Amino acid sequence: MKRFEGNPILKPDGKHDWESRTVSNAAAILLDKQIHLLYRAMGNDNISRIGYAVTTDGYNIDERAPDPAFSPIMEAENAGCEDPRLTVLGDSLIMTYVAYGQYAYHKVYQVALTSIPITNFLARQWIWGERRLCMPGIRNKDAIVFPKKINDEYIMFLRFDPDICIARSNDLNLWYKLEFVMGPRLDSWDSFKVGATGLPIELNEGWLFIYHGVNYSNVYCLGVALLDKERPEQVIYRGKEPILTPEKDYERLGKVQNVVFSCGNVLIDDKVLVYYGGADSVLCVATYDLAELLPKK
């Protein structure tokens, strides 16, 4: 693993009130030879919105939009839209995110889904489609939609605390066949809860799946697993040790201490670029050789 020496690649911007306090947790997608980032941002109103930035080399930001690309409009997300993940399906980008709703005595987090035509996305025309809750009224988060159908069904990973689960759909609207995929491990770095990060990467060996784990000291780390290609609920391999732990000051000190949390990764020429939030305050990137992440024979 190699952290980018220029980390963090994005910091809060005091010129824009909506992202003046924190930026973190970015979806990442490779389109037209550029990596496009949708990142969580929070300003002085404590409401999360989603900003946009783009990088050509994967590390240095070439463009950063002055206004949010996505803001809360539904009652179910009136406390914020967080932790986006992106999937290309046909001519559209599917975005899952966490909808936070503030009610009289509590907040509720739910997985929401929307889409945007790729042409509009590349033109920075934020014309999003219908927003819908995937499992209305049920607390869950950390959702990703697989980049292809399996057995003619859409596949979603999501977290029902403390486990990663799988669900399937025919239409990206109604989700069913909920099953367990993996959970915390006793006396390990991921002993408290686990959740999905960015898109699984399809390889000959299976789906390479980077996930986050949390221990009982509330330290967030990243780990890796290999999933069966046709039955992704089957875990073929799961690394014993994390691949990224909070070590740098920008990962240890911030809004939430000791956090590395990812919502996006891309594969370029056998290099995996993992974009992650440091301490829920800044956005960073680390690079891995693909061979480093695969189980040793």
Kindly state the average pLDDT of the residues 227-249.
97
| Domains, the chain | 2-293 (2.115.10.20)
Whether 244 shows a pLDDT value over 80: the answer reads yes
d(CA 85, CA 205): 24
Residue 88 has what pLDDT? 98
pLDDT in tens, 49-95: 999 999 999 999 999 999 999 999 999 999 999 999 999 999 999 99
Better pLDDT: 294 or 94: 94
d(CA 214, CA 216): 7
User: Which pair of structure tokens corresponds to residue 166?
Assistant: 């799988």
State pTM to two decimals.
0.97
